[in-house]
Structure 1
Amino acid sequence: MNQDYYKNYYHLERNHWWFVVRLEILKQELQKIAVLEKKSKRKILNIGIATGKTSEMLSQFGEVTSVEYDAVCAEFVRQKLNIEVIEGSILELSFEENSFDWVCAFDVIEHVKDDKKAISEMNRVCRNKGKVCITVPAFQSLWSHHDEINQHFKRYKMNEILNLFDLQSENIDNTSSFKILRKTYFNSFLFVPIWLFRKLNFLIPQQFIRKGSGSDFEIYKENRFLDSILKGIFRAEKKILQKNISFSFGVSLLFFIEKQKYRD
C-alpha cells in the first residue's frame, strides 16, 4: 500500500458512516467495562490500528500501546498523529505474558489465517482479570469483493468465535479461562440491504460501481445525504445496544471477555 491509500483511509476512518458509528459503539461498550472496573489507570494494547482512530479513542481509557503490521501504515500514523507505533504481527506479539489490562483487536482477526494463534497471543499478553476485546465481520454469506480487497480470510458466526476462545457452551463454569462480558452482532438493521447489495455486486462489472481501493467504503463516501441516513439508522441501533440488548445477526460481531486465568 502507498501513502495515498492511507491518506484516503485516514479520511474514511473519521468521516464514513460505518467507521464513525462503529467507533461510537465501541466507546459505549468499553465505557460499561470501565465503569465496572473503577480503575483510573490501565495499560491497553491496540492491535492493527490502521490509521489510528481506535487508538485515539482508547487513550480516553488508559495508556495505549499501538501495534500495526504494515510498515508504511505505521510510519504514516507516526507522522500524522505523532504517536509511537510498534510494527508487529498479532501472531507474534513482542510483549511478556500478563502485560496489559485490555487487549483489543478491532476488525483484525479476519486478516490472519491462523486465527486461533491470534487469540492465543492476545490471551497470553492479557493480565488475569484483564479484558480481551474484538470485533470481526460476520456471516460468510456476506462475502464479497469488499472482503477480497481487504484481504480477509473469512467472516464469522458467534459459535466460531466461542470455539476460538474454547467457550463452546454459553453456560460456562468456574474452570473456564474466560468470562463473557458482552457478545452481540451489530450493524443489524442494515443487514438485508447490505446482503442484497453484495449479492447484486457479483452481477455488475466492478469498474462501474467501485473506485479507489475497490472496497464498499469507497461507494458511499461522496454521497453526504446517503451517509447521513445510514449514520442515523446505525445510531438507532447504538441506543438499543446501550441497554445491553444483543442482536442475533448483523454485518459485524462484537465479543468482549474477561481473562480468568492463562491456560496452555
Structure 2
Amino acid sequence: MEHDYYKEYYELERNHWWFVAREGILSNYIHRLIEQGKLSSKDLKILNVGCGPGRSSEYLSKFGKVTSIEYDEFCCEFASKKTGLEIINGSITELPFEDNSFDLVCAFDVVEHVEDDQLAVKELKRVTKKGAFVLITVPAFMDLWSHHDVINHHFKRYKIKEVNLLFDTINDGNKVFDTYFNSLLFLPIYFFRKVSNFLKLGQKRKGSGSDFEAFKPGVLNRILYKIMYFESSVINRKIRFPFGVSILYNWKKF
C-alpha cells in the first residue's frame, strides 16, 4: 500500500461504517469468549499481527496486554506517532516470538496480503499457547474481486472451506467457530463491485481507489454501520451466515 494511503486509512478505521462495525463484531465476539470462560479475563497476552494504523490494537487493549506487529516500516512509524503504541516492524511469515507465547493471536484482514498464506497461518499457530486461540478475518469470494483488492495488495479472497484447509494441515488444534459476515449487505456490495469493475470507478477516484472512499461520514454511513453491526447479535448466538463479504474464523490450539 502507498504511504499516503495509511494516513487515509487511519481516519477510515475510526469513522467508516465497515471498520467501525467490524470493530464492534470482533470486540463483542472476544467479550463472549471471556464470558464463556474460554479466555481469561485477567493478564491476557494478545498478539495483533498486521495492526496497520493501529485502531485494532487500541480496542484489543480492552481485553489485555497487546503486542502489535506491522510489516510496513513507514506504517509502523506513522501509527506509533499517531497513537503512542509500540509497534514492532516484522512479518507474519517470520514472527519474532517464541513458540506458545500468546493467549489470543489476531490477524484481521491480513492473511490475504501474503502469497504464502499457509506459512502465515503456520506462524500464527506456532506462537499461540496450547489451549489458546487464533482469531482472523479475511475477505470472502473471488466473485467480489475488484480494484479495491488490487489497491490493497490482496492475493486472493477466500471461501470458508479454503480457510479450513489452511488450518487443518496437521492435527494441532480445532476450529471453534467460523462464519461469513457483512452478509446483509452482500447483494448491494456485489452489484456495486460489478458496476465499479465495469466502469473502472476505482481507477478514477482521487485517493487510494478503494471501496472505502465510496461513502463518507453522514446519514448513509450510520445506516450501513447499523445494518452490518446488527450481525454481531446473530454471530454471538453461534449462528453462521451462509455467505458474506468477509469471513470470521476462530481456532483453538491443542
Q: Scaled by the length of structure 1, what TM-score is found?
A: 0.91
Contact kept? 1:3, 1:76, Cα under 8 Å:
no
In the alignment, what sits opposite 2:225? 231
In the alignment, what sits opposite 1:245? 239
The reply to whether residue 32 of structure 1 matches residue 32 of structure 2 is yes
The Cα offsets for residues 9-56 of structure 1, whole Å up to 9 and x where unpaired, read as: 111000000000000000011111122134411111100001111101
Contact kept? 1:90, 1:121, Cα under 8 Å:
yes
Tell me which moved more, 103-112 or 229-238.
Answer: 229-238
In the alignment, what sits opposite 1:101? 103
AA in 2 matched with 1:32: R
AA in 1 matched with 2:188: P
Aligned-pair CA distance for 1:129: 0.5
Contact kept? 1:101, 1:127, Cα under 8 Å:
yes
In the alignment, what sits opposite 1:179? 174
Contact kept? 1:211, 1:219, Cα under 8 Å:
no
Give the whole-Å Cα distance in 2 for the aligned partners of 1:212 and 1:77. 19
Secondary structure in 2 aligned to 1:65? strand
In the alignment, what sits opposite 2:184? 189
Give the whole-Å Cα distance in 2 for the aligned partners of 1:115 and 1:202. 26
Q: 1:62 to 1:145 in 2, by over 3 A?
A: same
> Which of 167, 170, 177 is residue 165 of structure 1 equivalent to?
167
Give the whole-Å Cα distance in 1 for the aligned partners of 2:232 and 2:178. 14
In the alignment, what sits opposite 1:12? 12
Secondary structure in 1 aligned to 2:242? coil
> Which of 85, 90, 98 is residue 87 of structure 2 equivalent to?
85
Contact kept? 1:138, 1:250, Cα under 8 Å:
yes
Aligned-pair CA distance for 1:2: 6.0
Contact kept? 2:21, 2:226, Cα under 8 Å:
no
Aligned-pair CA distance for 1:75: 0.3
Q: Name structure 2 gaps, 5 residues minimum.
A: none
Aligned-pair CA distance for 1:245: 1.1
The Cα offsets for residues 174-228 of structure 1, whole Å up to 9 and x where unpaired, read as: x942122221000000111111111111221436862300000011125x12212
Q: Name structure 1 gaps, 5 residues minimum.
A: 168-174
In the alignment, what sits opposite 1:146? 148
Tell me the C-alpha RMSD between the 2 structures. 1.7
Q: 1:185 to 1:88 in 2, by over 3 A?
A: same
Aligned-pair CA distance for 1:3: 5.5
AA in 2 matched with 1:250: G
Contact kept? 1:109, 1:136, Cα under 8 Å:
yes
In the alignment, what sits opposite 1:171? none
Contact kept? 2:16, 2:216, Cα under 8 Å:
yes
Give the whole-Å Cα distance in 2 for the aligned partners of 1:42 and 1:7. 30
Contact kept? 1:43, 1:64, Cα under 8 Å:
yes
Q: 1:221 to 1:121 in 2, by over 3 A?
A: same
> Which of 206, 211, 215 is residue 216 of structure 1 equivalent to?
211
Q: 1:92 to 1:38 in 2, by over 3 A?
A: closer
* Pairs within 5 Å for 1:117-132: 117-132=119-134
AA in 2 matched with 1:179: N
Q: Scaled by the length of structure 2, what TM-score is found?
A: 0.94
Q: 1:109 to 1:28 in 2, by over 3 A?
A: same
Secondary structure in 1 aligned to 2:230? helix
The Cα offsets for residues 130-178 of structure 1, whole Å up to 9 and x where unpaired, read as: 10110000011100111001000000001000100117xxxxxxx9421
Contact kept? 1:107, 1:135, Cα under 8 Å:
yes
